[in-house]
Structure 1
Amino acid sequence: MTARNSAAVQAAQLRADARRGVWQRLLAALGVRTGRVRRADAVAARWEHGAAGEAETARLVAALASQGWHIRHDLRMPGSRANLDHLLVSPCGTAVVVGDTKHWHRGRTTAMVVGRVHCGEDDRQDQVDAVARYAARVTRALNLPGVVVWPLLIVHGSPIAGGRLEARAPDWDGVVHVLGPARLLPTLAAAPKVHDPARAAAVAARVDRVLTPYIPGPRRVRWP
Structure 2
Amino acid sequence: MRLRYSGVCRQCGTSIAAGTEAIYERETRTVRCLACATEPEQALYSGPEPTRDGLLSPAAGTAGSSARREYERRKTKDQDRLREKWGRFGALAVGLSNERPSTQSWAQGAIGEERLGAGLDAVSSDSLAILHDRRIPGSKANIDHIAVTPGGVWVVDAKRYKGRPELEIEGGFLRPRVEKLLVGRRDSTKLVDGVLKQVDVVRKHAGDVPVNGVLCFIEADWPLVGGAFTTRGVHVLWPKRLTKVLVAQASGDVDVARMRELLASRFRPA
* TM-score, normalization by structure 2: 0.66
Distance in 2, Cα, partners of 1:88 & 1:211: 13
Structure with the bigger RCO (C-alpha within 8 Å, sep 6+) is: 1
Match of 2:192 among 119, 124, 128: 128
| Aligned-partner Cα distance in 2 for 1:143–1:125 | 26
Residue 61 of structure 1 pairs with residue 120 of structure 2: yes
1:48 counterpart letter in structure 2: A
CA contact (8 A) 1:8 1:51 kept: yes
The answer for the alignment partner of 2:73 in structure 1 is 13
Q: Which amino acid aligns with 1:89?
A: V
Return the letter of the residue paired with 1:154: C
Gaps of 5+ in 1: 169-174, 215-224
Q: 1 CA distance for matches of 2:239 and 2:89? A: 41
Tell me, yes or no, if the aligned pair for 1:163 and 1:183 is still in contact at 8 Å: no
1:144 maps onto 2:207 in alignment:
yes
Contact 2:206 / 2:263 at 8 angstroms: preserved in 1?
no
Partner of 2:158: 101
Q: Do 1:14 and 1:41's aligned partners in 2 also have CA atoms closer than 8 Å?
A: no
2:253 and 2:126 map into 1 onto residues whose CA distance is: 9
Structure 1 partner of 2:93? 32
Percentage identity across paired residues of the two chains: 25
Q: State the alpha-carbon separation in 2 of the partners of residues 130 and 48 from structure 1.
A: 20
Return closer, same or farther for 1:134/1:19 CA change in 2, 3 Å cut-off: same
Contact 1:159–1:180 (8 Å) recurs in 2: no
* Alpha-carbon distance, 1:159 to partner: 2.4
Q: Could you tell me which runs of 5 or more consecutive residues in structure 2 were left unpaired when the two chains were aligned.
A: 1-9, 12-61, 170-178
- The whole-number CA distance in structure 2 between the counterparts of 1:89 and 1:70 is 5
Post-superposition shift, 1:190? 2.6
Task: Say if 2:128 and 2:148, in contact at 8 Å, map to a contact too.
Answer: yes
Contact 1:7–1:48 (8 Å) recurs in 2: yes
2:199 is aligned with what amino acid?
A
For residue 207 of structure 2, give the secondary structure of its aligned residue in structure 1: coil
With 81-90 and 14-23 compared, the bigger mean Cα shift is at: 14-23
Q: Which has more radius of gyration?
A: 2
**In structure 1, how many angstroms separate the alpha carbons of the residues matched to 2:202 and 2:118?**
23
Does structure 2 retain, via aligned residues, the 8 Å contact 1:74–1:83? yes
* Structure 1 residue corresponding to 2:143, chosen from 76, 84, 92: 84
Query: Structure 2 vs 1, CA of residues 26 and 97 (structure 1 numbering), >3 Å: closer, same or farther?
Result: farther
User: Are 1:203 and 2:264 an aligned pair?
Assistant: no
Q: 1:26 offset after TM fit, Å?
A: 4.3
Structure 2: distance between partners of 1:151 and 1:117? 14
Residue 167 of structure 2 aligns with which residue? 112
**1:93-145 superposed Cα distances (whole Å, 9 cap, x missing partner):** x511110000111xx211111221101221111101110110111111x1422
- Matched length: 197
Over the residues paired in the alignment, what is the CA RMSD in angstroms? 2.4
